[in-house]
Structure 1
Amino acid sequence: MVVSSVLPAVLSDLTSGSHRGVVVDSPPGAGKSTLVVNATAAMVSNGHLPLMIVAQTNEQVDDLIVRLVAALPAGVGVGRLSAQGYVAPSRIASHAQVTVGSKVADLGPVLIVIGTAAKWATLSEGTWPWAIVDEAYQMRSDMLLRIANRFDRALFVGDPGQLDPFSVVESERWTGLTWDPMQSAVAVLLRHNPDLPVHRLPVSWRLPCSAAPVVSQAFYPFSGFTSGTGEGDRRLGLSGAGAGGPLDAAVEMAADTGWALYELPARHTLRTDAEAAEACASLARRVLERGAVAYSEQARDGAPVTASRIAIGAAHRDQVAAIRSYLGDLDITVDTANRLQGREYDVTIVLHPLSGRRDATAFHLESGRLCVLTSRHRHACIVVARAGIPDLLDAHPSTEPVHLNVPVKFPDGWEANQAVMAHLDGHRVALS
């Protein structure tokens, strides 16, 4: 596996003493968590302890702990830093080698301490010789500044194509500053330390060969990647007959090619477009009704695509609520791009951020948002949108102001959206 071949070079740079940090860039599904777990196990084996691990959400922390416990020797204690009142889920509480506490002193003599960046930022004392920061591109730079004095050397692992950190407060006052808190932790790290070694994972094990070239060209123009699977390694079968019509045509198109564009008639709509929300829910239902079966390297004989293996993504929470209202009791994940980051499904359905809009704002053009939405699937992605998005893009070219001392971000959201729509043009199922 590519992670195993990259890991020795990463650890060599980290432990050589020549650099305080090492960055590993990873495309969607390339094995970021696997790299973090394997790097931790290797550091334990080589005696590079104690070690602090930083993740960005509690879900990420708990997921890492479960994987670490399975990979580490039984005698290695893991401390889970948490907020007061945190109740450990059963998957954490069932492991005797995991200690949970709101303070480092409560964790006892553990060799590995893991917590969210927000929790680490509350500590006022204690230092660790080694640190690993997971999903480092999701981390705001000010959060890194608050915890940087807690470690001597660190490994930063993340996906540069994902959503940038965001804030609900105005942030123009910091624009152009090298420590702008609205930049990602890695962006600020590399601006101040341009000589730090940067490694890349060049293979996605999530995206099929039908999706990797599209996502790579649109969102990773300078650090492209390939799929870990080839033609014929994965297949989405439909065991049930369809009744015909656009819904079945879109599901069949996605099963055959990995992509489908379910195109509603052109119209300017409210953000919570009821017709588009219903279409997303109906497509998810139709995947279930057709008895979709996923054949892959993980399930040679096929595995049913259940409701839990389908996700619907949208740009806004009110759109998410509207879609959920059409799903009833079905256990299908419906969420925003921000909350879908890092998650994986067999089939995804995406409400395009620009569908039905009169304008193309910076929020809706952000390349990371569409990148997240179109890179969660192992087999197929169906995009729901109203006709006219390419025309909307042509009418609203990128007009973001250029600021002094602000690095130009690539890829440009306008160009990335055009690239994705150009690909989907050949997979269109249009409603008249």
Structure 2
Amino acid sequence: MDLRFDEADEEFRREVAAWLAANLTGEFADVVGTGGPGREHEHLAERKAWERRLGEGGWIGLGWPEADGGRGLSWERQVIFHEEYARAGAPGRVGHIGEQLLGPTLLMFGTDEQKRRFLPGILAGTQLWCQGYSEPGAGSDLAAVATRAVLRGGEWHIDGQKVWTSLATEADWCFVIARTEPGSQRHRGLSYLLVPMDQPGVDVRPIVQLTGTSEFNEVFFDDARAAEADVVGAPGEGWKVAMGTLAVERGVSTFGQQMGFAREYEQVLATARATGAASDGAIAERLLDSWMELQVLRHTAVMTLGAPAGSTPGSEANIAKLLWAPWHQRLGELAVDVLGVSGTVAAGFGEGELTPAQQLYLFTRSDTIYGGSNEVQRTVIAQRMLGLPRGPA
């Protein structure tokens, strides 16, 4: 895809930048540069209010069809919004799972009634979602889920456990992959259920990370309930719907991630210059390598955005994940190295006790694991893209 912007697009860019500048003040001044992966604990109440401000301004669901409450904007203008959002230092989104994953899934597979019920809350920034995919015995192997749901008395009764569930403590709803056909195995017999979090049968337990904070969670379902109608797609078609959700992860929000990476890199570079580390030949070479790899990441994002809608789902996203996760880890290592000895000393572990460089270094240890480990990404690429045979179990 050749990503170019015409004068009308650039006028839209100025509109976005002006709105952000006008709104990231006052009550939202303190949220600038906060939140995001590894920092979800920061200013949660203010960032939830910011989500509502975005909804009021019409900045959620930019690419959704106008008939479903979105603005129907082009890819180019969606990219512009994400670039300007990151450039302004706007806070990490607490509603991104609803807007970028569940919303597009409902647009593809949901009934008209489901779209009427759930899309307005996402668009308004008043309804937050989390993703119930991974399990202790089925992390990157989604087809191995053991959580079960039985339809009884007009409700789905759900029992099981999910893990690594981001923002589960804040979410109002969770989209859950559960096995609804007894005796089924692997991809068969799964259903995609919409489950309210505020009920007696749902227990959320935060997981303490290397950083001392907790944005990932375990979620236990003990006879939790979901309405019979709250299944996306037909019962037993959960695998197809789940793959649709994963496929939309390769969308324009990728460019926001790249801009966030660029901002982190600029901070590391500034620190290296301030400490004198940039004059060290080895550090200078690593800084140059990191910058060049960042340009490759952007080029890959452009190619991903330009992939045909009917292309092999997830393949481009697998390649992108395999590129950015190790790069981000190396950036974290570099961030600490340019600080020298002081980078190895921490006041403690927990909210506000680590420097941004230390936070970056520690959290990026998880980058090559969450969202599908690097080993799984290579397997998917080998089998789906290259047609190589399956290896021994």
TM over 0.5: no
**Structure with higher helix content:** 2
Of structures 1 and 2, the larger Rg is shown by: 1
Tell me: higher relative CO, structure 1 or 2? Use CA pairs within 8 A at least 6 residues apart: 1
**Structure with higher strand content:** 1
TM-score by length of 2: 0.31
